[in-house]
Structure 1
Amino acid sequence: MDSPAVVPTARDSRPIERRQLTVLFCDLVGSTALSARLDPEDFSAIIAGYRRCITETVACFDGFVARHLGDGTVVYFGYPQAHEDDAERAVQASLALVQAVAALPTKESLSARVGVATGVALVGDMSDSAISEEHGILGDTPNLAARLQSLAQPGGVIISDRTKTIAGPQFEYLDLGKVEIKGFVEPVAAWRVAGKTAVTSRSHALQSCDLLPLIGRDEEMELLLRRWERAKSGEGQVVLLSGEAGIGKSRLTVALLEQLAREPHIRLRYFCSPQHTDSTLYPVIGEMLRAAGFAHDDSQQAKTDKLDALLAQSSTPPQDAALFAEMLSLPNDGRYPPVEVEPQLRRQKTLKALDSHIEALARINPVLMIFEDAHWTDPTSLELFARAVDLAVSHRLLILVTFRPEFSPPWIGRPHVTGLTLSRLAPCDIHFLIEGVVGNRSLPADIRQNIIERTDGIPLFAEEMTKAVLDAEGESDAQRAFAGAPTPAVAVPASLQASLMSRLDRLGPAKDVAQVGAAIGREFPHMLLAALVRKQNWTPTSTGSLRRVCCFDKASRQMRATCSSMRWCRTQRTVRCCGSQGACCMRASPKSSKVSSQKSPRASPSCWRVTTQRPTWLRSQRACGARRDSGHRSVRRWSKPQNNLAKR
């Protein structure tokens, strides 16, 4: 008798891939005893509510619930979509989980414990293999997370050493030392998360870190100081500081703060976050909380008193103080007049009160306002920034806005607004940066050169990769790291893995093309690439994939910074990584079929273009300081691009 045909079911399957991710393992404490005391139906209702609580809480941090194992849950951060801050998201989700589970409205008191680990693993659809899991994972990372969870106390969170290193100073940690864990040969360093700190972002964390001297940004610093002098005289200024991730925007901002530390002024620093793009006035609330000096254990009365002390400096009227207290979710204990207006009118009144507060501060002392990572801001905060730009014209106010090239600032073209784009550092500057990281230690010249070539002028990449090489177990391990051989040193540092993988995941269909190109090398013919991806008619001009392919490196097999402008030469049909940023164009050399990198001084970082015209031949600049001398780092006023071939 013939067996019935199997009807395939449609589902979202993903190929198995090797990637770094952070695994969270959450367990319900005392579930066995609870199941023995309760009726099965009552216990089932508790488990259902517990799982629903985990799913909803984790979703707030873009975590992915891979599976439920009885009273335990496995959550991925970094799969299927990676984020730059997956480790931070996992730790924040862990703290939120233990609080949410404890607050569940059940007859029985519930508590959870969490273990978090970060590492490289194989993850993807393994339902066709012996594992039979749609979102299976292989590696020691999930095992470590589960073992760390078993060490935690009820309501506690324990994380691995790598997770702690990547998450950084945004949390308070208690060192548990190296603990013996079943299945692991060597003792494993473990940390208990005690809570959050006042640090709200990686940019904010730079203030408390030991930083290298500012390298290769003398011209940019001189411009900022000139704009500050004009602002102090009453002619307010706005500087739009643009650059790709890791280029040094926050480092330049910290250097400016250090330069002005001895001058009398008021600084307002607003940090936008990728996790709060939909949180109204999140950067504004964070700045006010820091300025007022709120502590986690402060009572509502103490917080309100601190807010009053802060607002007294600018003689804020009671009506505005009531709006600020409401914005900070502080109860009105009768000291403020009641706020009884419609939500839309309340929003406008709050923005106007913030304007008045800034204006009052500018009358006391010159004000330096810094908006970090404006590409992650919420719409209401963006409106406040625009109002502050208008306010700066006639006040002692310098506004510095940092953002990535994908953000289009709406204030371009105004007389008091200056655009400043940070270019990649020259090789000689990267050499000095490596010298600062290495210090008195030894690093062979060939490895230094490899770092310079692979990091393509990105200071953050150069610094982190140098640290990773220095952490290798000897010179031979460091050399094997660059040769691609197995080594304790990570070829791409763990601190950069999440950032690079998040860019790779955002490529969409071009991700496969980029991975093939990265496996070939930094330079390859179009026909070879098309044959390997089995798309003979694939053309970069129609798909835009070339713009993404050029951002990958053979040695690291990871994505580099994207180019915002390029040209595709149809006559030569050869592609090469441009190795630059901003207004970088792909131009063909008349003496070779290769494509060389040159920068167009007229291209705008707010758009990218693909043209089929024969490119203009440009003489290559080989000198170390050629970029600087040729005006690549020159300051210019922002203007909208005139070329409308393709606007991003």
Structure 2
Amino acid sequence: MNDVTSWLAEIGLPHLADKFVDAQIDFDTLALLSDQDLRELGVPMGPRRKLLAAIAALGSSARQPGGDRTPVERRQLTILVGDIVGSTEYASRLDPEDFSQLTQTFLSRCSGLARSHGGFVANYVGDALQVLFGFPAAEENDAERAIHLALDIVATVPQIETPDGSRLGVRIGVASGLVVVGDIEGAPAGISTVAFGYVPNLAHRLQAIAVPNGIYVDENTYQTTAGAFEYADVGGKTLKGFSGPIHICRALKPIARQYRFAGELQSTPLVGRKSELQAVGTLWDAVRADGNGRIALISGEPGIGKSRLLYEVGRSFPGSKALVAECAPAFTNSALFPFLRLLKQEVGITEDTPLPSERLRAALSASTVPLSISYPIFTRLLAVEPDYEPSRLAASEQEAAISQVFSDWLRQLASAGPLMFFVEDEQWIDPSSGKLLQTLAYGVAQFPVLLLVTSRESRTRAEFDKAVTVHLALERFSREEAGEFVHMSSGGHLSSGVVSTLLSKAEGVPLYLEELARSALMLAAHSSDPSETKAESDVAVPISLQSALMSRLDKLGAVKAVAQTAAVIGREFDLKTLAHVVGLSPSGSSHRSLSATGPVTPSLTACYRRPPRGHCSGTGGGSFMPCRQGDRGSPTEDGRGASRDPRPALP
């Protein structure tokens, strides 16, 4: 069965086929659908529940015993464990069938939420569930997605009806770290994917001691997500099976941030980027002078400082209004996600907002689109009045109305004074937001708006490159700039040997420098002699970078194994050695795929550098050094020159 239309007919919902076709939903997309997505499609409550249950069943039936198994591997994971509060008491006072139904409802709701956040439901143990983030593929914000899921579960579970009318509660534990995970032969029935190591045990222990409707996290998870969520310090606790006290924090709620990493950005020094700031300042002066909009595309690899540049731009003009729309990898299939979240923030619509419909009506009334048309569309998109009658307009007409509303909204804000509009991580923009951004970009010249768009790609995903006024491609720090950055970040408390190690490992990437410096400072704080040689060799990849680096590897697909083998060979390698180890031809396509996707880049020096001791060489071989940003170019004449992208994890 490969037709969603046929599947909808089989579950008794054939009338929804047109909606799914218009939204371009295929079987790969089904597992990503959430209750909110179905609301946005205009699906009523009854069919929504039926769809979510059918999608959950479809996901569980897709992994049959004896099918393709996921290989066992070491991975950085964030693991969430959730359990019903007082499940033993429920089991003792409820009829077994009632308790079974209650447990199934709990697990079904939580599993649906987990899938909507991109989590992998590994198994159920009684009335507890375990969700993995970072498997089978990692994302840069695995830990953040786990905490968002935990908060959604805590908000949803009390709404589940119980047979005796009591209020259902949940306890959640979240832990992050290195595990061995995969499909294990001989695993218990119904449980094929197992994670081994201390992390799943720690998540279970944290869950067991959590207060009702509490979310307890370990230190690793806290360190990774502290800038995105508000926490309460629980303190050190002795947990069964762990030799020393475990420091625990309780997640409370997300932090409202105008800029990504706002807290971290304030505490790190600004090095370089003067010419880029000056270029943006020139554009801003032009916007204020003639009232015509301008667009700047700011591109660069992960961790290069795109968000920091936006933050500094906003801070350089404190009296100016700035809007920030953030795209996110977890919401690439959520229609209009960055724009709807921005609208809610600016209008002031939250879960606790009294009369949110009145705020929405006030915001929409500024548009030339009549409220009778715009309100039914936006009340569904923002879930302000879930039971409000949906719009009867065709999808194309609704799309046009949405574009006009946002255009009018920006124009109104700009009428009070020149406006800055930042769009972060455009490489992750969802299709609907891409169309809207394209419309806004080509119309921005009509009013005083400076549109700044950041992306990891050199061309816009929303295809408005012809409207871009200036393209700023950020490069890595020079060694002098990197040394200044480390000195300022560490306060000069690191030895010259450690600093040299950091500069070699990070190779000019500001984020790598920052995190490695922080890791080195922590290591030095626990050492009796911070300058000892051991500190130089012990600086490893911080937890905060592990998911980002693994995400880049996972996106390589089948070529990932080649990149991992290259990492084992060393920071310097030649294609002949690599091809011999993995059993591929040196002239094959694997190294070209690696070069195209980032981990391996051509080295212009490869043809004349002497190979290090222990490396194989041969006719036309050569050794291969990690490339600087400015060294990227064509491979050597025989096509064998390549080097891996700098990666702090590699020796």
TM category, shorter: 0.7 to 0.9
Asked if 1 retains the 8 angstrom alpha-carbon contact of 2:269 and 2:489, the reply is: no
Matches within 5 A, 1:399-548: 399-405=451-457, 408-411=460-463, 414=466, 417-439=469-491, 441-472=492-523, 473-474=526-527, 475=529, 479-480=533-534, 482-483=536-537, 491-533=540-582, 535-541=583-589, 544-547=592-595
Change (3 A) 1:352 1:450: same
Any residues of structure 2 matched to 1:191-206 within 5 Å, and which? 191-199=249-257, 203-206=259-262
The 8 Å contact of residues 366 and 412 in structure 2, kept in 1 or not, is answered as no
CA contact (8 A) 1:589 1:595 kept: no
Tell me if the contact between 1:517 and 1:549 (Cα under 8 Å) persists in the aligned partners.
no
**SS in structure 1 of the partner of residue 477 of structure 2:** coil
8 Å contact kept, 2:173–2:203:
yes
Change (3 A) 1:222 1:71: same
Deviations 1:1-44 (A, max 9, x none): xxxxxxx9733323332222111111122222222223333333
Matches within 5 A, 1:244-643: 244-262=301-319, 265-299=320-354, 301=355, 303-307=356-360, 318=371, 322=375, 324=378, 327-331=381-385, 341-405=393-457, 408-411=460-463, 414=466, 417-439=469-491, 441-472=492-523, 473-474=526-527, 475=529, 479-480=533-534, 482-483=536-537, 491-533=540-582, 535-541=583-589, 544-547=592-595, 551=599, 563=601, 572-574=620-622, 576-581=624-629, 584-588=632-636
Q: Is contact 1:375–1:407 with CA below 8 Å preserved after alignment?
A: no
Structure 1 pair 187–195 and aligned structure 2 pair: CA distance change class (3 A): same
The 8 Å contact of residues 65 and 73 in structure 1, kept in 2 or not, is answered as: yes
Match of 1:114, SS state, is strand
Aligned with 1:240: secondary structure?
strand
* 1:69 aligns to 2:125 (yes or no): yes
Q: In structure 2, what residue type is equivalent to 1:42?
A: D
Deviation at 1:550, TM superposition (A): 7.3
| Cα drift, residue 575 of structure 1 | 5.6
The SS at the match of 2:77 is strand
Secondary structure class of the residue paired with 1:544:
helix
Given that residues 77 and 177 in structure 2 are in contact (C-alpha distance below 8 angstroms), is that contact kept between their aligned partners in structure 1?
yes
Q: Of the candidates 203, 220, 241, which is equivalent to residue 298 of structure 2? A: 241
CA distance in 1, matches of 2:566, 2:423: 37
- For the 8 Å contact 2:265–2:308, the answer to whether it is kept is no
Cα deviation, 1:149-204, whole Å, max 9, x if unaligned, reads 1111222211112211111232221111112222222211111222223238xx53
Kept in 2, the 8 Å contact 1:27–1:149? The answer is: yes
Q: 1:582 to 1:113 in 2, by over 3 A?
A: farther
Q: Give the letter for the 2:138 counterpart.
A: A
Contact between 1:455 and 1:462, CA under 8 Å: does it hold in 2?
yes
Check 1:595–1:79 CA distance in 2 against 1; reply closer, same or farther (3 A cut).
closer
Name the residue aligned to 2:116. Answer: 60
Is 241-250 or 540-549 further displaced after alignment? 540-549
The structural deviation recorded for 1:205 is: 3.3
CA distances 1:262-289 after superposition (whole Å, capped 9, x unpaired): 4xx3322111121222222211122122
Q: CA RMSD in A?
A: 3.6
Shift, 1:307, TM fit: 4.6
Partner of 2:280: 224
> Is 1:142 matched up with 2:203?
no
Find the partner of 1:79 among 116, 122, 135: 135
Instruction: Sort the Cα spacing of 1:134 and 1:309 in 2 relative to 1 into closer, same or farther, 3 A.
Output: closer
The structure-2 alpha-carbon separation of the partners of 1:297 and 1:209, relative to structure 1 and needing over 3 Å to count, comes to: farther
- Please point out which of 236, 241, 245 is paired with 1:187: 245
Distance 2:374 2:643 in 1: 59
Residues 478 and 160 (structure 1), Cα distance of their counterparts in 2 relative to 1, 3 Å cut: farther
Which amino acid in 1 is paired with 2:627? G
CA contact (8 A) 2:602 2:641 kept: no
**3-state SS of paired residue (1:516):** helix
Specify the code of the residue in structure 1 equivalent to 2:587. T
The one-letter amino acid paired with 1:445 is: S
CA-to-aligned-CA distance 1:327-364 (integer Å, 9 cap, x gap): 43334999xx9966344322211211211222233333
Alignment CA distance shift 1:315-1:198 (3 Å): farther
| 1:208-219 matched pairs, under 5 angstroms | 209-219=265-275
Counterpart Cα distance in 2 of 1:311 and 1:344:
19
SS in 2 for 1:360: helix
Q: Residue 28 of structure 2 corresponds to which residue in structure 1?
A: none
1:101 maps to 2:154: no
Q: CA deviation at 1:540?
A: 4.6
Note closer, same or farther for the CA distance 1:327–1:170 as it changes in structure 2 (3 Å cut).
same
Sort the Cα spacing of 1:129 and 1:54 in 2 relative to 1 into closer, same or farther, 3 A: closer
SS of aligned partner of 1:219: helix
What CA distance in whole angstroms lies between the structure 2 residues aligned with 1:24 and 1:511?
27
CA contact 2:603–2:625 (8 Å) conserved in 1: no
Q: Deviations over 1:581-635 (max 9, x none)?
A: 4882255499xx977999xxxxxxxxxxxxxxxxxxxxxxxxxxxxxxxxxxxxx
d(CA) in 2 for partners of 1:596 and 1:525? 8
| Cα distance in 2 for residues equivalent to 1:134 and 1:269 | 43
By how many angstroms is 1:519 displaced? Answer: 1.4
Kindly provide the amino acid, as one letter, of the partner of residue 181 in structure 2: V
Please give the alpha-carbon distance, in whole angstroms, between the structure 1 residues aligned to 2:227 and 2:287. 33
Give the Cα separation in 2 of the matches to 1:316 and 1:536: 60
Q: What is the aligned length?
A: 564
Percent same amino acid at aligned positions? Answer: 31
Counterpart Cα distance in 1 of 2:242 and 2:410: 56
- CA distance, structure 1, for counterparts of residue 620 and residue 276 of structure 2: 38
Q: Which runs of 5+ in 2 are unaligned?
A: 1-63, 608-617, 646-651
What residue number does 1:166 align with? Answer: 224
Aligned residue type for 2:633? C
8 Å contact from structure 2 (residues 227, 263) kept in 1:
no
- Tell which deviates more after alignment, 243-252 or 442-451: 442-451
The question of whether the paired residues in 2 share the 8 Å contact of 1:23 and 1:74 is answered with yes
Q: How much does 1:98 deviate?
A: 2.8
Question: Quick check: 2:603–2:626 contact (8 Å CA) kept in 1?
Answer: no
Contact 2:603-2:636 within 8 A present in 1 as well: no
Change (3 A) 1:174 1:313: farther
> Residue by residue, what CA displacement relative to the aligned partner does 1:195-237 show, whole Å, maximum 9, x if unpaired?
223238xx53326752333212111111111111111222321
Q: Provide the rounded CA distance (Å) in 2 between the counterparts of 1:481 and 1:511.
A: 31
Structure 2 counterpart of 1:240, which letter? L
Describe the shift of the 1:197–1:388 C-alpha distance in structure 2 as closer, same or farther (beyond 3 A). same
CA distance in 1, matches of 2:176, 2:629: 30
